[in-house]
Amino acid sequence: MTAMDACAEIKRLYYQATQATIQKDLARAIALLKTLKTEEERERVAVYMDGLSQMRSEWGQPRDKRSR
């Protein structure tokens, strides 16, 4: 898999993530991130990685804790 393929896959995971799939999607994105060789490549996907992490944080909490 090329760096461009990995970047495109991370972007796809971000846009298609759901509450039901976020844990699996984030794990896959982390594995893909580890394949990127340069800092420039990692910087390109940083916003998507941050977004996936935020989604996991929000969706991973029980509903009663989120509303407080």
Each of the 68 residues of the chain gets a pLDDT tens digit; together they read: 898 999 999 999 999 999 999 999 999 999 999 999 999 999 999 999 999 999 999 998 665 555 55
47: in domain? yes
In a domain, 22, yes or no: yes
pTM: 0.84
In a domain? residue 13: yes
Whether 28 is covered by a domain: the verdict is yes
Q: Per the domain annotation, does 67 fall within a domain? A: no
Number of domains making up the chain: 1
Boundaries of domain holding 31: 3-60
Structural domain contains residue 7 = yes
Asked if the structure places residue 65 within a domain, the reply is: no
Q: Are 7 and 14 in contact (CB under 8 A)?
A: no
Residue 46 domain-assigned? yes
Token pair in block for residue 7: 């970047």
pLDDT value, residue 5: 94
Query: What distance in Å separates the CA atoms of residue 20 and residue 60, rounded to the nearest whole number?
Result: 10
